[in-house]
Amino acid sequence: MRAESFHRPVKAVLPAAGFGTRFLPITKAVPKEMLPVGDRPVIDYVVQEAVAAGFTDILIIVSREKNCILDYFDRNHELERRLRSAGKHSEADELERIASQANFHFVRQPEMKGLGDAVLQAQAFVGKDPFALLLADTMILDNNGRPGKGDSLNALVSAHLEHRCSSVAIEPVAAERIHRYGVVGGRELHSGQFELKSMVEKPQPDEAPTMLDSGGQAYSHGFAFAARYLFTARIFDFLRTTQPGKNNEIQLTDAMAQLLVEEGFYGCRLPGKRLDIGNAAGLLEAHEIILKGKSSHD
Ligand code: G1P
């Protein structure tokens, strides 16, 4: 066991610095994290998820072209005053709520060298505390099929507090899609809880690690990282020395594989559903789910 404290973590890091090449041409001018789902950008739901799970301090990692993310989470007093003087109090209240729901911090990734390098920019903010990592281009729905309560992050926090090491959300993925994800092997301890033994970023099917069920039988499908992580600060020591890997980028998964050897690592099966909005089909699905939920509440 290392010397980190094992209190419930309160810091969350949201990398939002990628080019968004899977969603060009729109992402040439609009960050993918700012694409609309219902009446708000995707990253709004990701922040709400972190806040719902008790994270009070949020660092968003941006690149040069993404200043509109800072504007979105900042107060705009002039606009709020104008709305209030026009009697539009609920709109003004909502803008105020968005900016004051957490303590927001921002940092720029100077060069887009990969997810691992983006996460490294969070080191000064994180210090020695454990922290959550939420990929800001992915919405996670709860058990009830709606965004909101942070079930997935809560499961990761519980695993972290129980096993005193890092944990990550994982989900089953079919063999033909395995080359798109970070893939993990290990064994299931009990339903939905996995002890991880190996991790490979975007493997070919024959390089993918195997996951055993609680009876020791290999699952016929793989298990992939699902955009939510809970790290001990030790991850930074490995990130600092990780060399470019898959796609010539500094891969978070490569640093995680080293952390696993030193501290162990737990996987929690994603209790809800992952919606990757980095492509048009995922964005459309998210939009439909949100609009359906909204109309059933109207
Ligand atoms: C990233 C990670 C990968 C993970 C995926 C989905 O890949 O590198 O390990 O499985 O997110 O959470 P990307 O989608 O940025 O290529």
**Hey, which of 115, 119, 171 would you mutate to test ligand 1's pocket, going by the most ligand atoms within 8 Å of its Cβ?**
115
What distance in Å separates the CA atoms of residue 118 and residue 226, rounded to the nearest whole number? 18
41 beta partners: 36
Q: Is the dihedral of CA 286, 289, 291, 293 positive or negative?
A: negative
Q: Is the dihedral of CA 58, 63, 67, 72 positive or negative?
A: negative
Query: Of residues 293 and 11, which shows the higher confidence score?
Result: 11
How do residues 1-50 score in pLDDT, each as one tens digit?
Answer: 444 456 899 999 999 988 888 899 999 999 999 999 999 999 999 999 99
Q: Is the pLDDT of residue 270 over 70?
A: yes
What distance in Å separates the CA atoms of residue 101 and residue 124, rounded to the nearest whole number? 22
Beta strands, E only, the chain: 11-16, 36-37, 40-41, 57-62, 103-108, 131-134, 138-141, 166-173, 182-190, 193-201, 211-212, 222-231, 265-269, 273-276
C-beta 168 within 6 A of ligand 1: no
**Hey, which of 22, 32, 152, 181 would you mutate to test ligand 1's pocket, going by the most ligand atoms within 8 Å of its Cβ?**
181
pLDDT at position 296 is 56
C-beta 114 within 6 A of ligand 1: no
C-beta 12 within 6 A of ligand 1: no
Identify the residue whose C-alpha is closest to ligand 1 atom 7.
Answer: 181
188 beta partners: 194
**Hey, which of 19, 135, 170, 249 would you mutate to test ligand 1's pocket, going by the most ligand atoms within 8 Å of its Cβ?**
135
Q: Where are the domains of the chain?
A: 11-297
Identify the residue whose C-alpha is closest to ligand 1 atom 1.
Answer: 181
Q: Is the pLDDT of residue 144 over 90?
A: no
pLDDT at position 1 is 45
Q: Tell me the two tokens of residue 152.
A: 């997935």
pLDDT at position 104 is 98
pLDDT at position 284 is 93
**Domain at 11-297, CATH homologous superfamily:** Spore Coat Polysaccharide Biosynthesis Protein SpsA; Chain A (3.90.550.10)
Q: What is the DSSP string of 186-244?
A: EEEEETTEEEEEEEEES--GGGPPPEE-TTSPBPSSEEEEEEEEEE-TTHHHHHHHPPP
C-beta 116 within 6 A of ligand 1: no
How do residues 24-33 score in pLDDT, each as one tens digit?
Answer: 999 999 999 9
78 Cα: distance to centroid of ligand 1 (angstroms): 39
pLDDT at position 34 is 96
**45-71: average pLDDT:** 96
Q: Which whole-number Å values give the CA distances from 84 to 77, 101, 112, 216, in the listed order?
A: 10, 20, 41, 62
What distance in Å separates the CA atoms of residue 212 and residue 201, rounded to the nearest whole number? 19
Give phi and psi for 250, each to the nearest 5. -75, 110
C-beta 181 within 6 A of ligand 1: yes
C-beta 203 within 6 A of ligand 1: no
Identify the residue whose C-alpha is closest to ligand 1 atom 9.
Answer: 182
Q: Tell me the two tokens of residue 106.
A: 């921002």
Q: Tell me the two tokens of residue 125.
A: 């903010």
pLDDT at position 3 is 45
pTM of the model: 0.95
How do residues 78-126 score in pLDDT, each as one tens digit?
Answer: 999 999 999 999 999 999 999 999 999 999 999 999 999 999 999 999 9
Atom of ligand 1 at shortest distance to CA of 181? Answer: 10
CB 167 within 8 A of CB 156: yes
How do residues 158-214 score in pLDDT, each as one tens digit?
Answer: 999 999 999 999 999 998 999 999 999 999 999 899 999 999 999 998 899 999 999
276 Cα: distance to centroid of ligand 1 (angstroms): 10
Q: Is the dihedral of CA 279, 196, 208, 244 positive or negative?
A: positive
